[in-house]
Amino acid sequence: MCKKILRILSLALAILLAVSVAVPSPVTAAATKADEIKQQIRNTYKNARSYYGWKSFDGYCGAFVNAQLYLMGITSNVIGTDGKDAYNAFNRKSVTSGGYSVKAYPAKTYSLKSALNDITKNGTQNAYYILVGFEKTKSSLGRRYGHACVIHAIIDGTVYYAESYDLTMNGKHYPEGTPISCSIDDFCAYYASTTTQFDGVIYFGLKTYVDSCTAYTSNAWASAKTEGKIWSQPCENTVNQNSEYRRTLVVGEQVNITGLYMNTVGEYWYQIDEGQTGYVRAEAVSISQLRFDDVAVVDVTAPSVLVKGKPFKVKGTILSDMNAIYSVRARVYSVDGEAVTQVINATDMAEAKSYDLYGSKISSKLTFRSLSAGNYRYELAAIVGNYYVEEGQLLTGWETVSLWSSDFLVVEKKTDVHTVTFDACGGTSGLNQTVVASQQAMGSLPTAQRQGYVFLGWYTEAEGGERITAETVPTAAATYYAHWISLDELRAGWLDNGSCWYLYSDGVTSMGCIEVDGTLYYFSSVDPMGQNWMMWTTAGTV
């Protein structure tokens, strides 16, 4: 247990060592799972030793506690209290220097067990960052010292923490600084046997009051109905010691909603994004438009050719920050010219803000082995939702959002396909490469763009060569090249042949055309206000 005499000596030593030893930075994200908590305990012990330059904290529990609080970001610096004063350092505060809320459970009102049971609702709720303080402890030398320790988490009724000395609990030995896991009852029983006076418990919780609220995804535009006040946190009854007043809404003002929270007393608060995040009571605003655009597929990859009887693997993750992904839908269509027929359909419940495609139920439900050789299209969509509040009721709006599609071939064997590359020759193409089954026509061709030029089509050579059409059938792997004509060349080659020329009534704007390689290119010249600069179409359409 801890020694009282460390006050002056250990503080002076800590200051001296802090000058010469690199100080680890506080953590930036809270661990919330058992394995993460155990690793966090190991890391904080290692970094605490590095901070003080000590091999052991045996007898110096205050130093170990204070280092842990700093390294986890609860305090902004390492405070200088010993074990017997650890509880008193926080019991009169409302917020720590690191921005964490403080809730004190004094010994005059709570026992250690009743405090932990209150924090965890009798072990039914997880809790994080709890300081336990004792005024006096037992010693084999007959001297009494105070003591303190930090519980990193109580998850599913199991306490996770580390001590500043070696101990044995329930027949298991725990070296100093190693993760200890035990029940609340065992934790309380151990300290009842080693201490004589309990000070109290400090519950820091997670960093903001938001973490104690129930979060709902919401992505919307809203209009202020009243002069609602924007606060830094969704506080209780609009009064909370950790929430700061930001500003007051103007009636009719449009606001950007990026989340919805229900606090611990059942009040709904909208999260507002306006440079910095703020919160306003739901009754103060009216939703004018729900948005479903905050969902996308990232890092998606899929094969363009599938050998008959082989699986079709799609990798990627569907992500959303402000929308709830309710379910994911994948469909496969057979494509035969203009005819598109659905052949496979699969749906999986997501009910999350992310969905990993690879190895998912969507992947396992889509059976591609039975597909015959031919052209197919894979389409991915998601049903996404937004929560909102109307007349005090929590409601949900849903919409099906198309996310991604990809065409692919099924061939009898790998050699039954040709790879076609499109070289934009100074421009940009809507498609850089595709595959075409043996003896199959190209079908639709990609378009291309280039500043100051009009795209003439794809050719077999960079200069000259034969023009590629939808009916072209590649006989081997090939590269097709974009041909261009500059706007200056087009202006110089206008044809005035009656059917291909028109002068508008203003006497200035006009429409003309030019023949290039057997194709007529139609265009409009700039209008008097300079608003209609060279809008080009081809194939005889205007």
Does some domain include residue 34? Answer: yes
Q: What average pLDDT does range 89-107 have in this prediction? A: 85
Residue that is last in its domain, among 379, 411, 443: 411
Number of domains in the chain: 5
Say yes or no: 477 and 499 in one domain: no
Q: In what order do the strands lie in the sheet with 354-356?
A: 296-301, 315-319, 354-356
Q: What is the pLDDT of residues 4-55, one digit of tens each?
A: 333 333 333 333 333 333 444 444 445 668 888 999 999 999 999 999 999 9
Report the pLDDT value the prediction gives residue 532, as an integer from 0 to 100. Answer: 40
CATH number at residue 432: 2.60.40.4270
Report the pLDDT value the prediction gives residue 4, as an integer from 0 to 100. Answer: 38
Say yes or no: 17 and 149 in one domain: yes
3-state secondary structure (DSSP) of residue 48: helix
Residue 423 gets the label, from left (phi > 0), alpha (psi -120 to 50) or beta, of beta
CA gap 316, 336 in Å, rounded: 28
Look at 188 and 432; give whichever has higher pLDDT. Answer: 188
Say yes or no: 167 and 85 in one domain: yes
Report the pLDDT value the prediction gives residue 426, as an integer from 0 to 100. Answer: 87
Say yes or no: 27 and 126 in one domain: yes
Place of tokens 């101990």: 167
Q: What is the pLDDT of residues 397-448, one digit of tens each?
A: 999 999 888 888 888 777 777 888 889 898 887 667 777 877 778 877 888 8
Query: How would you class 280 by CB atoms within 10 Å of its CB: exposed for 0-12, middle for 13-18, buried for 19 or more?
Result: buried
Report the pLDDT value the prediction gives residue 366, as an integer from 0 to 100. Answer: 78
Structure tokens at 47: 């970094």
Does some domain include residue 122? Answer: yes
Q: Are the beta carbons of 279 and 272 closer than 8 angstroms?
A: yes
CATH number at residue 387: 2.60.40.3930
Structure tokens at 226: 């009243």
Residue that is last in its domain, among 361, 391, 411: 411
Say yes or no: 75 and 131 in one domain: yes
CA gap 460, 94 in Å, rounded: 75
**What's the pLDDT band for 484 if we cut at 50, 70, 90?**
confident
Q: Are strands 393-411 and 354-356 parallel, antiparallel or unpaired?
A: unpaired
Say yes or no: 121 and 51 in one domain: yes
Q: How far is CA 318 from CA 90, 333, 378, 400, in A?
A: 43, 21, 15, 14
Say yes or no: 55 and 148 in one domain: yes
Residue that is last in its domain, among 203, 227, 261: 203
3-state secondary structure (DSSP) of residue 117: helix
CA gap 262, 394 in Å, rounded: 10
CA gap 94, 100 in Å, rounded: 9
Distance in angstroms between the alpha carbons of the first and the last residue of the chain: 89
Does some domain include residue 1? Answer: no
Say yes or no: 328 and 477 in one domain: no
Say yes or no: 464 and 523 in one domain: no
Write out 281-348 in H/E/C secondary structure.
Answer: EHHHEEEEEECCCCCEEEEEECCCEEECCCCCCCEEEEECCCCEEEEEEEEEEEEECCEEEEEEEEEE
Report the pLDDT value the prediction gives residue 371, as an integer from 0 to 100. Answer: 85
At 363, give phi and psi (nearest 5°): -65, -40
Say yes or no: 43 and 114 in one domain: yes
Does pLDDT of 243 surpass 70? yes
Contacts of 425 (CB under 8 A, 6+ apart): 462, 481, 482, 483, 484
Query: Please, what is the angle between helix 61-71 and helix 34-52, to 10°?
Result: 120
| Cβ neighbours around 275 below 10 Å, total | 5
Look at 527 and 46; give whichever has higher pLDDT. Answer: 46
Structural domain containing residue 503:
493-538
Say yes or no: 234 and 361 in one domain: no
Say yes or no: 266 and 396 in one domain: no
Query: What b-and-e string marks burial along 431-450, b requiring 16 or more CB atoms within 10 Å of the CB?
Result: eeebbbbbebebeebeebeb
Q: What is the pLDDT of residues 207-239, one digit of tens each?
A: 566 766 888 889 999 999 999 999 888 876 554
Report the pLDDT value the prediction gives residue 372, as an integer from 0 to 100. Answer: 85
Does some domain include residue 402? Answer: yes
Look at 346 and 535; give whichever has higher pLDDT. Answer: 346
